[in-house]
A = this chain, B = another copy of it.
């Protein structure tokens, strides 16, 4: 089956290229880049000089002829324009951008500061947090792939919220990300010399992943949830670690929490519950795993949950392929048997 990648010059797009090279059923039909149309892929990414692809322009007809599944790995505001036309042509679309993750145009426009996609399409989009929306994904025409921070956060929170064992108003998410999360666009603050040997909080007064986390956390908890969320930039390329703090309800114990996680994820091939050591980003590097560990602190009555992913894999391209697998009825881990690269 042929797949297209729109926005293939970013890090998320090129990670999709990597994954499709080793996928048994999906092959690359066309690579779209508006900015570098006509150029060979190996000019933008010399590490792929053995691959013969060039970038094409985004045109609906060309796309539809060359792909059954279309991945968008584009900046905000791009997929909202193009996706509706592709859906009308019956294509399956997996959108890695944030354009279809919120169901309210007003909330989208408040946090993203650009026009929203039409409300009717927002409602059709299925949220691609694979472990929690498997059934909906199987029949979705438009899958809205989660953000990197929301993936790490919601995979850690969802079992707790569903089981009702933490206080909904007490959730604090201290998030740390490697630098590829910022993409390949060129800014002074992302120069090596500025980031190296530095730890930098950013968007402390509001990150656009907050409404996404709150929307789905609320849905899973079946009550309104508002969270504190502070992201930090860590001097490394890949990896997200979120440290989540929440008040435990009703004296639930460590074994209760353990059991909640075990039940939630016993069938999930990419979730690894950690017991003898804490999650570290290197343990998942280059793989689709999400490692989760926790500690119930009796001194404070708080639960601390740690959740680690590779932001370009489970946090972007890996989960997108996982969703394509679910959508097509293939085993969920098809083409995703990546052992973490260590060290």
Contact = CB atoms under 8 A, between A and B. Distances in A.
A43 B187 CA distance: 16
A305 B179 CA distance: 23
Given A180-B343, A196-B179, A228-B297, A50 B306 contact: no
Contacts of A230: 243, 245, 304
Contact of A237 (B234, B276, B337, B343): B343
A188 B21 CA distance: 26
Given A11-B193, A46-B274, 20 more contacts: A21-B339, A43-B276, A45-B342, A46-B277, A48-B342, A50-B289, A174-B243, A179-B191, A186-B188, A192-B235, A196-B343, A197-B236, A197-B239, A199-B236, A201-B280, A204-B304, A205-B297, A230-B243, A230-B245, A235-B235
A11 B343 CA distance: 8
Nearest to A51: B339
Contact of A234 (B174, B194, B199, B289): B199
Nearest to A289: B50
Contacts of A226: 299-300
A266 interface: no
Contacts of A21: 337, 339
Contact of A341 (B17, B176, B299, B341): B341
A282 B245 contact: no
Interface string A201-237: 1101100000000000000000000111010101111
A331 B184 CA distance: 36
Contact of A243 (B193, B232, B283): B232
Sort A-B residue pairs by CB-CB distance and give the 4 closest, nearest first: A198-B282, A174-B174, A47-B283, A192-B195
A198 B280 CA distance: 7
Interface in A41-64: 43, 45-50
A192 B179 contact: yes
A340 interface: yes
A47 B299 CA distance: 31
Contacts of A81: none
A48 B198 contact: no
Nearest to A198: B282
A245 B22 contact: no
B199 A241 contact: yes
Given A48-B339, A302-B228, A198 B239 contact: yes
A341 B11 CA distance: 11
A295 interface: yes
B199 A176 contact: yes
A199 to B, nearest CB: 5
A14 interface: yes
Nearest to A19: B339
Interface in A247-303: 272, 274, 276-286, 289, 293, 295, 297, 299-300, 302
Contacts of A306: 201, 204
A86 interface: no
A197 B46 contact: no
